[in-house]
Chain A
Amino acid sequence: MIGNDVVDIAASRIESNWKRKGFLEKIFTTQEQELIKRASNPELYVWILWSMKEAAYKVYNRETGIRAVIPHELACKVDVVSQQAYKGTVTCRGGEYCTTTTVTNGVIHTIAVCNFLKGKKVTEVSGDVFKDANGWPYIYRSGLKIPVSKSNHGKSTKVVAFQ
């Protein structure tokens, strides 16, 4: 399964105040709060970790059918940071999800896949996105129903699928 999440930093500045009392504590584990505190750009790190959680949650939700507000239980680890991407792992209730986060022109985009699909190629796709009875999105590609993940925030919308 696949999940993605977009954070438009300009929109986040209008909609959210991450410095608000209690905000970080409600969302992040103590280890994650440490990472944010030590980051050279804490604001960027807040939203990178947030988008990792959101993308991984979408995979978790699609796998289990469970809906819940559980930011704390989606524990993030950033494994590799390069100029291209932040590669990480999010664990949740026994499940493990691999994440790739890019930051381009003020837009953070994380793609999460379940661990056993790690390495499988993911691409951005276009076309009309439909929703099935569970609310999960899909597109049609050469007549075939392909599961996708769609995320929209501020000025940015991304739809991704396995290649």
Chain B
Amino acid sequence: MNRPQLIEKLKVIVTPYANNAQAVEALEEDTDFIKDLNINSANLVDIVLDIEEQFNIIIDNADMERMLTVRASLDIIETKLATK
């Protein structure tokens, strides 16, 4: 799966937690879940869980620590998928 495909999957995952559909549509690597999408931090945990389920990977606490942006999430997903 390449980055544009991963970004499309991420858009689907974050949509239920973001109240600004336009911001989700404009989602790119620099997007910050909290600053740009206004996602509340409890829902950030849901996004981590959704990513785990969707990609069948495990995100440990050290990875979760960095998951404030789309870029960090993509890095983590790619690394995990590569070692599967």
Contacts and interface: CB of A to CB of B under 8 A. Distances in A.
A153 B23 CA distance: 20
Contact of A50 (B42, B43, B48): B42
A15 B42 contact: yes
A12 B42 contact: yes
B42 A22 contact: no
A29 B41 CA distance: 17
A16 B67 CA distance: 19
Contacts of A77: none
Given A20-B49, A23-B49, A26-B48, A69 B42 contact: no
Interface residues of A, number: 20
Contact of B49 (A22, A70, A135): A22
B68 A23 contact: no
A69 to B, nearest CB: 5
Contacts of A12: 42
A21 B45 CA distance: 11
Chain B interface residue number, banded: 10 to 19
A69 B43 contact: no
B65 to A, nearest CB: 5
B66 A27 contact: no
Interface string A49-86: 01000100000000000011111110000000000000
Contact of A68 (B43, B48, B52, B65): B65
Interface of A: 12, 15-16, 20-23, 26-27, 50, 54, 67-73, 135, 153
8 contacts: A15-B40, A20-B46, A20-B49, A21-B49, A23-B46, A26-B45, A54-B41, A69-B64
Which are the 6 A-B pairs with shortest beta-carbon distances? A68-B65, A16-B42, A72-B61, A26-B45, A69-B64, A22-B49
